[in-house]
A and B are shown apart, each in its own frame.
Chain A
Amino acid sequence: MCVPEERPSAMSFEQLAMPLFDRLYNFAHWLTQNRDEAEDLVQETYAKALKGFSSFEPGTNFKAWMFRILRNTFLNSRTGLKAATVPLDPAEDDPALPAETQTPETILIDRTSREILQAAIEELPVVYREVLLLCEVEEMSYQEIAAAVAIPIGTVMSRLSRARRLLRQTVERKLQLRSAS
Chain B
Amino acid sequence: MTHELWTAKLDAYLDGELESGETAELDSHLRECPACAAEGLRRLQWKKNIQSAAQRYVPDPKLRQRVQKNISQPRPVRRWWPAYAATLAVLLLLVGIAILREGSRQERNSRIVSELADLHVSTLASSSPVDVVSSDRHTVKPWFAGKIPFTFDLPELQGSPFELVGGRVSYLEQSPGAHLIFRVRQHRISVFIFQERAVPEGFPSLGPTDARSFHLETWIHNHLRYFVIGDAAPEDIQALSKLLK
Contacts and interface: CB of A to CB of B under 8 A. Distances in A.
A54 interface: no
Give the secondary structure class of A's interface: helix
A42 B15 contact: no
Nearest to A43: B67
Interface residues of B, number: 50
B59 A2 contact: no
Interface of B is mostly: helix
B77 interface: yes
Interface of B: 4-5, 7-8, 10-12, 15-17, 39, 42-43, 45-47, 49-60, 63-64, 66-68, 70-73, 75-78, 81, 84-85, 88, 100, 103-104, 171, 174
A56 to B, nearest CB: 14
5 contacts: A25-B63, A98-B8, A111-B174, A114-B52, A118-B56
Contacts of A121: 50, 53-54
B47 A136 contact: yes
A117 B71 contact: no
A137 B49 CA distance: 10
B55 A26 contact: yes
Interface stretch (A69-77, A80-88, A156-164): A156-164
Contact of A136 (B42, B54, B60, B81): B54
A111 B4 contact: no
A22 to B, nearest CB: 6
A18 B103 CA distance: 11
B170 to A, nearest CB: 10
Interface string A39-66: 1001100110010000000000000000
Given A5-B76, A103-B43, A19 B103 contact: yes
A7 interface: yes
Given A117-B53, A121-B50, A99 B81 contact: no
Given A103-B46, A118-B53, 18 more contacts: A7-B75, A21-B67, A25-B63, A29-B56, A29-B57, A30-B56, A30-B57, A38-B57, A98-B8, A100-B7, A102-B42, A103-B43, A117-B50, A118-B56, A121-B54, A137-B51, A160-B15, A161-B11
A117 to B, nearest CB: 4
Nearest to A113: B49
A13 B71 contact: yes
A150 B61 CA distance: 31
A7 B42 CA distance: 50
A141 interface: yes
Nearest to B53: A117
Contacts of B66: 43
Nearest to B57: A29
Nearest to B176: A111
A25 B57 contact: yes
A21 B57 CA distance: 12
A121 B51 CA distance: 11
Nearest to B73: A10
B36 to A, nearest CB: 11
Contacts of B54: 26, 30, 118, 121, 132-133, 136-137
B71 A46 contact: yes
Contacts of A118: 53-54, 56
A44 to B, nearest CB: 10
Contacts of B42: 102-103, 105, 108
Contact of B49 (A35, A46, A117): A117
B50 A132 contact: yes
A50 B71 contact: yes
